[in-house]
Structure 1
Amino acid sequence: MSRTADPSTGATGGAMSPELRPLTIGILAIITCAAFEAMAVVTAMPSVARELSGESSYGLAFSMYLTASLLGTVVAGSWCDRRGPRPALAVGLGLMVLGLLASGAAPAFWLVTVGRAISGLGGGFMIVAVYVVIGRSFPEKARPVVFGWLAAAWVLPALIGPVVAGFVTEHLGWRWVFLGVVPIVLAAVLIVWPRTKALGPVDAPDAGSAKARTLRGLALASGVFAAQWSLVHLADTEDPGAATVAGLVGLAAAGVVVALLVLPALLPKGTLVLARGLPSIIATRGFVNVAFFGTEAFIPLMLVSSRDISPGTAGLTLSAGALGWSAGSFVQARVTFARQWLLVAGSSILSLSLGAFALATAVEAPLWMLAVVWGLSGFAMGMTLSSTSVLVLKLSATSEQGRNSAALQISDQLGGVVGTAGAGALFALLHDDADPGHVPTFVAIWLALWVFTAAGIVSGLRGARSSGDGPGLAPRKPMEGPVPA
């Protein structure tokens, strides 16, 4: 392990050295709980949609979580640089708990969606805070190991989460899946809270620039929400009139325009045109997320509706993906060649595995085969996403880790939003209430999402083929537009 002292904490050892062990355990506890929440909610959602008649808006329950996370991420990035990670961690905890309670008590599906949005806002705060804690507390060479362990923290939730959530859904009701996660999340944050006391602000960015960045984040989230809501509503409306179609199409177009106008200022310069180095690394994160999370959100619905499989059994397919994710992250922590080439390898493996998943779905292959293929997809994601996290922290000055971590998470979450909202809109357009398990509908969704894996390969190559100088892959570029100094 590296023996280079960290500038913020003075830590010189590995992730499990005496001075870092309590913090490592606390961070792992937070991620473990977040993983359990994710696996449990995905497993329970088909039952929620069926009971509350929300099948046509199924994708919104996932995409709204990620849309709200965009806003939380932008606000947390500047806030962590100005105040340290503690305030963002506390606010994120409160919002996530509030959202879980709201979803668990919701009498209608649209209120479940609102609850998921509140939880997503809190999740955006929390994930950026965790990244900043890692960047400022661990030596550089220890970070790949930490991110590998974060992926490994998904293993236990992946194994027991779907089973527990399926049992609770079938015997106690889906509401207890949401309500039962609340004390677990509280306990996890309380473990890490005392260990973050020393992580105050690094500098004092200009408050006006931070406010402008927050407003851009609000505009981005609003534009994304308007676009996805309009498309889903348009696809779900039977025989809409010309005025309705024009209004919804106009609102969707306006949302896309607003998002495209404000997005460049929230990302490193050149991200949208795949500039070499850091911009393309961040873009790769978004492309692979479109493909993976758009597919994952609809796997339980496909298995439950087309094969009449129980929610718990359907969730085991997601467990395979999480286990593969952990294996991929384990592998990336031990590479000896240039890490950026893992982005190309991961995107390529994801492309092959997602294509195979579409084929296996079309021929109604056995469940175990779907689980194996999805496990390979998870392996690709674990290798790719952990590597992007390590590379972004490596290329960021200490005072910019919050902002650059936020940019990475924006790409991450925007990719998830595009994937889940796009898949949701396509599902709403193609599905038949009389035949909700129509297999070709799901195959069409998988193939549409597969296109983004090809884009991930291209951006991965752009990130790897950099004429970088110094320790990074490319000279560090400022954000576009005014940002905190």
Structure 2
Amino acid sequence: MTSNARLTAESAGPETSPGIFSSRYLWVTIGACALVFLGAFESLAVTTIMPLVSADLDGAALYALAFAGPLATGVIGMVVAGNWSDRNGPVAPLVTSVAMFILGLLIAGLATDMTIFLVGRLVQGLGSGAMNVALYVVVARIYPAQLHAKIFAGFAAAWVVPSLIGPFAAGVVAEFTSWHWVFLGVVALVLVAMLMVVPALRMLRGQPAADLASRPSWALGMIAWSVLAAAAVLGLNLSSRLDGAWVGVVAIAAIAVALVAVRPLLPRRSLLAARGLPSVILMRGLVSAAFFGAEVYIPYLLSDRYDYSAALSGLALTGAALTWASASWLQGRMDISLTHVRAMQIGTVLVLFAILTAVATAVFELSPLVVIAGWLFGGAGMGLMYPRLSVMTLSYSSERDQGFNSSALSIGDSLGGALALASTGIVFSALTGLGGAWPFAGCFLLAAAISLVTLVIGPRVGDGVRVDRSA
């Protein structure tokens, strides 16, 4: 049975099947969505205020690292959380990851120089990456398969409120108090969210424990590979600070090391875009690279070239987040009529179109309304693709490898974004001497090139089979 057919059969459950907000799943849904909500708020807020942070801490040279660094350390968190969840369930990984996320917020919020701020961001990324994987395993262990599309659509819908108020509110807080409170103020909210997810953890603790003999062993080799991949991404970011030809040499070497290191962390033949799960994982990484590689420079473009305030620049991201959540909700309602492959095809075209509006705005100095309006289409494209890629990952997984495959999906997501951000950072530095909007145009063109690749990979996500990672 193909993945689409299998998902269709699983989705055609009895009409009396409880929904994600039924009494049985209510607290699990609220708790999980609350954590997603806080991650969404923080992501949107940091993107909005980074031009202010960069100016305050004299960190323009490390602008891209503030985004790529957390994604890189997040890979380590994902691998550890995935392995830990497969061994002992997701309870301990989830609690630990939330604690790391809070610690990172505190360090970044109390930072007085760019180095300390980056340390906080790295710790925050470590916790965030692990938290995402643990939540995926919570979904797999608690919800029946026919509810997976709806809960992932719920995760996307958890972006609605932060997308409405997050970017603008972060800009207002940064301008009228201090950007430090954008981090420190979130700490209390994360603690509340963790209290809300406690019923879910109790439900999981009530499940029978797996046999010690059947538990996967600690994958120390994989953890070491994840550390190497993260180090390569950080090295790629820092290569832009070198002189002359050394920039290109170190950059190429870092990318090669990252690809070699990530290979054992993904299903077999993922980097070759084999049909099915491998292409799902690769697709997630590429769409993340294209979209976020461009998005982080949009507020920067608006503040640098059009004198937008931090609050007003944040509104550019609000519309895209809303269309993301709306498209995600829509695809959840069309989980049978809209095939996975068709969702990928439509989504990739929308994201490419959005990035091209950013290119045109920078090159031809068009009205900023062009890129703001264009980014609405990019958000819609991501909303169509992201939940579907999550659903397909679980449909290709067995209970034994849910943690590994969920980790691989998040690794592809984060590492793709991290490599793209590191590369755009090099491009931005290299083109700064040209002046004007050319550094921004170069970053957007690189993102557009990555988006073109997704047009080829998209049709390969369907009609695959489960991948045995031990084969």
Specify if TM > 0.5.
Answer: yes
For residues 157 and 302 of structure 2, what CA distance do their matches in structure 1 show? 26
For residues 212 and 389 of structure 1, what CA distance do their matches in structure 2 show? 26
For residues 66 and 283 of structure 1, what CA distance do their matches in structure 2 show? 16
For residues 42 and 283 of structure 2, what CA distance do their matches in structure 1 show? 26
Look up the match of 1:478.
Answer: 468
Look up the match of 2:99.
Answer: 94
Q: Which runs of 5+ in 2 are unaligned?
A: 1-9
- 1:362: Cα distance to partner? 3.0
For residues 206 and 195 of structure 1, what CA distance do their matches in structure 2 show? 22
For residues 222 and 183 of structure 1, what CA distance do their matches in structure 2 show? 31
Look up the match of 1:463.
Answer: 461
SS in 2 for 1:274: coil
- 1:355: Cα distance to partner? 1.3
Question: Which amino acid is the alignment partner of residue 181 of structure 2?
Answer: W
Instruction: Assess, with a 3 A threshold, how the Cα gap between structure 1 residues 480 and 456 changes in structure 2: closer, same or farther.
Output: farther
For residues 203 and 62 of structure 1, what CA distance do their matches in structure 2 show? 40
- 1:261: Cα distance to partner? 2.3
Instruction: Assess, with a 3 A threshold, how the Cα gap between structure 1 residues 378 and 202 changes in structure 2: closer, same or farther.
Output: farther
User: Which of residues 48, 69, 73 in structure 2 aligns to 1:43?
Assistant: 48
- 1:207: Cα distance to partner? 5.8
Look up the match of 2:158.
Answer: 153
Look up the match of 1:407.
Answer: 408
Contact 1:12–1:139 under 8 Å retained in 2? no
Contact 1:39–1:162 under 8 Å retained in 2? yes
Instruction: Assess, with a 3 A threshold, how the Cα gap between structure 1 residues 409 and 256 changes in structure 2: closer, same or farther.
Output: same
Greater shift after overlay, 318-327 or 103-112?
103-112
Q: Which runs of 5+ in 1 are unaligned?
A: 6-10, 235-239, 467-473
Look up the match of 1:211.
Answer: 220
**Are 1:427 and 2:431 matched, yes or no?**
no
Look up the match of 2:288.
Answer: 289
- 1:360: Cα distance to partner? 3.0
SS in 2 for 1:198: helix
Question: Which amino acid is the alignment partner of residue 381 of structure 1?
Answer: M
- 1:228: Cα distance to partner? 2.5
**Are 1:221 and 2:219 matched, yes or no?**
no
Equivalent pairs, count: 455
Look up the match of 2:398.
Answer: 397
Contact 2:236–2:423 under 8 Å retained in 1? no
SS in 1 for 2:467: coil
**Are 1:58 and 2:87 matched, yes or no?**
no
For residues 373 and 339 of structure 1, what CA distance do their matches in structure 2 show? 24
- 1:361: Cα distance to partner? 3.4
For residues 160 and 62 of structure 1, what CA distance do their matches in structure 2 show? 21
Question: Which amino acid is the alignment partner of residue 292 of structure 2?
Answer: F
For residues 116 and 253 of structure 2, what CA distance do their matches in structure 1 show? 25
Look up the match of 1:233.
Answer: 241
Greater shift after overlay, 192-201 or 318-327?
192-201
Look up the match of 1:267.
Answer: 266
Q: Under a length normalisation based on structure 2, what TM-score does the superposition of the two structures give?
A: 0.91
Instruction: Assess, with a 3 A threshold, how the Cα gap between structure 1 residues 137 and 3 changes in structure 2: closer, same or farther.
Output: farther
- 1:414: Cα distance to partner? 0.9
For residues 187 and 419 of structure 1, what CA distance do their matches in structure 2 show? 34
Question: Which amino acid is the alignment partner of residue 382 of structure 1?
Answer: G
For residues 252 and 193 of structure 1, what CA distance do their matches in structure 2 show? 44
Deviation sequence 1:293-314 (CA, Å, 0-9, x none): 0111111111111111100000
Look up the match of 1:471.
Answer: none
Look up the match of 1:340.
Answer: 341
- 1:249: Cα distance to partner? 5.3
SS in 2 for 1:271: coil
For residues 470 and 312 of structure 2, what CA distance do their matches in structure 1 show? 47
Question: Which amino acid is the alignment partner of residue 454 of structure 1?
Answer: L
User: Which of residues 28, 31, 34 in structure 1 aligns to 2:33?
Assistant: 28
Instruction: Assess, with a 3 A threshold, how the Cα gap between structure 1 residues 326 and 406 changes in structure 2: closer, same or farther.
Output: same
Question: Which amino acid is the alignment partner of residue 222 of structure 1?
Answer: A
Contact 2:49–2:179 under 8 Å retained in 1? yes
Look up the match of 2:298.
Answer: 299
